[in-house]
Structure 1
């Protein structure tokens, strides 16, 4: 499990690139005071640390007293942000618009009203081109203030035009906010609970979606209004496991960026997330060819200048591209060859440890555990599953549950029968407590309890019987969630035929794609 520091100043310093560190030093030296020299000393000391340790910091830097540390840290934090602010970032549209708004206010304070209005016109023009509604509305409101206080005579019918523009921008922003709120709340549901677990969950999420979806949402043609509508339907379909709905709106999400390529630069993280969701849709629907096409497209984008323009884009691109690469091995049944990318993933998790959220790390660990399990290395699978089980977080109860279930099956594969009786009871209690027991899981637990008392011939018959039972539930929307997390059918087939799991999945892939047997 990667160590994570909660000290904000330390995280900020560790996020800086060499050029940014050099710029900070030059920034401080311009108007250096004795207190500024101490902040530079603190900066260098923190930069040398691998992990934040206040006691070690003070011990190595005796000039810095404990009672001074809090104020020095606050001062240093502000100085670093100020030094970063003056670095020109031509890729950041929001910073450019903010800068223009600042210029407009400076000109206004100087009494240069017409120059201020001229700058606001540029803000409005750029904001409109790049669908930045909040900046457009800010510029319009400031323009109203100037026109209300001074007779500028800058344009005929200024009052009527301004009133109409403000009303239109406000209306669009209201719709965008309502849809983005809906999308965020649906995403929060998924992060905390995963897919709908039963009929009660399905009814609750349907009622919530229908009562919060604005009636006129489909009438708005702005980029972000459409985007948040698509995003809301994506999460709604995914939670309900309506995979065709999920796929359709993921495709609309990505298509919107393809139709307006400038928006890939304006909001790169949203484009990256769209590619990820489209990849995931093809993965769960087992659209092999389309999955590979989108993965190739993502790989190309991953190496582009835009994807590497800042740390946030780099981190998000890594997370979602490598999730896709892992999924490709699951689709193809190439588990053993997939193990080769694990060191690279581990290295990147270490590199980005202060910038990756815990949820993403947990997903990586689960997928890596599945890769080891599929390749037959149950001990390594258990090692990664233990990282999830022992990491006390309140995220993804579904992931916590299925990690425990796979952990149990891995011990079964290893023949650790002395542990199994305890584990079966423990995992069953946990999943019941989390309200995560479906008919599929109940059948698996029933089989495992019975298996302790069966001989080899009886066990094989029990595997065949369990497979027949579970296959009835595969297309049931309330039960399909279990198969999305754990391909239990392929595992059962491997036990029945006495071959590795990856061989079963490889054969399924060959059959589905018409690949000739080698």
Structure 2
């Protein structure tokens, strides 16, 4: 890990409003202006360049201990962000109340301390923050013993602590089961043998959520799409009964809807998907989340991707193209906030839709955006599929000379990243042969490759590129 760049990454992660707040915060209390100047210089960099920083502040005394200044600036940013986001979550509020209780207890202001503890307990109970509830109850016990030392009250507190710990153990069991399911999937073992632990009315909401999620996962990966749809629907309906919970943790709700959409995509029930996409997009407004925060941006990215996939799979190309323009505007306005993984996925979806539409030049444009833009190690699988689709597009455009170079380039890319399964090798052999053959020899090459693909498992390649369908069309099967 490059520790020198950590401060740069922290500054880059801040929103405009967070940066504005930090500048005000840093200027309070007569703090050394060097910290704010260093912040501004790093903030303007596209990549961290310590030599440029040293050149900028040449002659300043603090350069002799730049690492110390950077550590202090990091701590100052974190302190400012704690203040800025003090009321951003229930957990933050409870933690602040616990800190208040500790300060008031040490000052022997027991009535004020008690009011803070009760408020923290109420929030921890309501939102099932079990670890924090245990911490709150320990302070409640300590305060009770200090004021009165009455055993019955302490015993009631201890009993509640014990219940909270028991519920934490139940949640731990559920999380272990989720991890076992993931391991079973990766190992290609039978996940039907994994059963979710029994859940009752006295269990926490989180336990019920995990119980249903495990059942959904088992049915989905066992191929029982009806069961998967049923359990994903149950989870959505359960969460919607607790709007406060969605406001505090919108990720679980969005994931539940996304899981249902995934199954509906698999079974081609297209008409049921748009209302679910709209429901996801309504989350920030309906549950009063911060506008344009990172969650909201990623929520839109997520739904854009799903909607594109739906139009691609349902062959509704014109709707897909209209959506592409909307996505491009969205990206242009927020490029620095959008991870490369999403950009790659969008560009690939654009290329795929144009390819299906036989608009090969437009497809090639987006493939070139992937191949020539230097995405590094981001989504190497998508980068690989883009290069394979690029071979097909060049063939369709009759760019045979370019195709020869593209095959070699694709081979080097795949070899460097150790993507060398049988299906990929066969694709390379197919286009290597086509690039060196006369058109009259194409059909035997198509048939030979089709036979090999039909006899083997081509896995994810077929999911991203319908290579069999393309060969069938070439052979007019």
The alignment's TM-score, normalised by the length of structure 2, stands at 0.79
C-alpha distance in 1 between matches for 2:379 and 2:179: 16
C-alpha distance in structure 2 between counterparts of 1:459 and 1:367, whole Å: 29
Instruction: Please tell me whether the aligned partners of residues 100 and 119 of structure 1 are also in contact (alpha carbons under 8 angstroms).
Output: yes
Give, in angstroms, the shift of residue 100 of structure 1: 1.4
Counterparts of residues 114-513 of structure 1 (less than 5 Å): 114-147=111-144, 150=146, 152=148, 157-180=152-175, 182-183=177-178, 201-203=187-189, 206=190, 215-216=197-198, 221-234=203-216, 243-301=225-283, 306-309=288-291, 311-335=293-317, 338-342=320-324, 345=327, 348=330, 356-357=338-339, 359-375=341-357, 376=359, 377-386=362-371, 391-393=375-377, 399=382, 402-418=385-401, 419=403, 423=407, 426=411, 434=419, 436-437=421-422, 455=439, 459=443, 462=446, 466=450, 470=454, 481-488=460-467, 490-492=469-471, 495=474
Query: Shift of residue 85 of structure 1?
Result: 2.3
Aligned to 1:26: 24
Relative to structure 1, is the Cα distance of residues 210 and 72 closer, same or farther in structure 2, using a 3 angstrom cutoff?
Answer: farther
How far apart are 1:169 and its partner, in Å?
1.1
SS of 1:202's equivalent in the other structure is coil
Deviation at 1:453, TM superposition (A): 5.3
Match of 1:72 among 69, 74, 80: 69
The alignment's C-alpha RMSD in Å is 4.4
Change (3 A) 1:360 1:223: farther
CA 1:278–1:467: 2 relative to 1, 3 Å:
farther
Match of residue 104 from structure 1: 101
- Return closer, same or farther for 1:315/1:407 CA change in 2, 3 Å cut-off: same
Once residues 123 and 106 of structure 1 are traced to their aligned partners in structure 2, the CA distance between those partners, rounded to angstroms, is: 15
Deviation at 1:236, TM superposition (A): 5.4
- Following the alignment from structure 2 to structure 1, what is the Cα–Cα distance between the partners of residues 140 and 128? 19
| Unaligned 5+ runs, structure 1 | 499-518
Structure 2 CA distance for aligned equivalents of residues 38 and 217 of structure 1: 57
The answer to whether structure 1 residue 47 and structure 2 residue 43 are counterparts is yes
Distance 1:290 1:105, change over 3 A: same
Shift of 1:38: 0.9
Separation in structure 2 between the aligned mates of residue 431 and residue 341 of structure 1, nearest angstrom: 35
Instruction: Give the Å deviation of 1:317.
Output: 1.2
**1: distance between equivalents of 2:383 and 2:181?**
20
- Hey, what does 1:504 align to over in structure 2? none
SS of structure 2 residue aligned to 1:298: helix
Gap change, CA 1:24 and 1:325, over 3 Å in 2: same
Instruction: Give the whole-Å Cα distance in 2 for the aligned partners of 1:392 and 1:138.
Output: 44
Q: Say if 1:486 and 1:13 are closer, same or farther in 2 by CA, change over 3 A.
A: same
Q: How far apart in 2 are the matches of 1:230 and 1:430?
A: 42
Q: Is the contact between residue 275 and residue 298 of structure 1 (CA under 8 Å) also seen in structure 2?
A: yes
Q: CA deviation at 1:326?
A: 1.4
Q: Distance in 2 between matches of 1:303 and 1:319?
A: 16
Post-superposition CA distance 1:353-410 (Å, at most 9, x none): 665555444433432332343343342243245269x6453x7675465445434433
Does the 8 Å CA contact 2:350/2:366 hold for their aligned counterparts? yes
- Matches of 2:240 and 2:162 in 1, distance apart? 30
Structure-1 separation of matches of 2:114 and 2:286: 38
Q: Residues 310-367 of structure 1: CA distance to partner in whole angstroms, max 9, x if unpaired?
A: 6232232122121123123214423355345446545655765665555444433432
Q: Secondary structure at the match of 1:135?
A: helix
- Out of 34, 37, 42, the position equivalent to 1:38 is 34
The separation in 2 between residues aligned to 1:351 and 1:177, in whole angstroms, is: 42
- Check if 1:7 corresponds to 2:2: no
Separation in structure 2 between the aligned mates of residue 42 and residue 428 of structure 1, nearest angstrom: 40
Secondary structure class of the residue paired with 1:257: helix
The verdict on how the C-alpha distance between 1:92 and 1:280 changes in structure 2, with shifts beyond 3 A counting, is same
Q: Which has the higher contact order (CA 8 A, sep 6+)?
A: 1
Gap regions ≥5 residues in structure 2: none
Separation in structure 1 between the aligned mates of residue 474 and residue 284 of structure 2, nearest angstrom: 39
| TM-score between the two structures when normalised by the length of structure 1 | 0.73
Task: Indicate the SS of the match to 2:84.
Answer: coil
Alignment correspondent of 1:501: none
Distance 2:291 2:177 in 1: 30
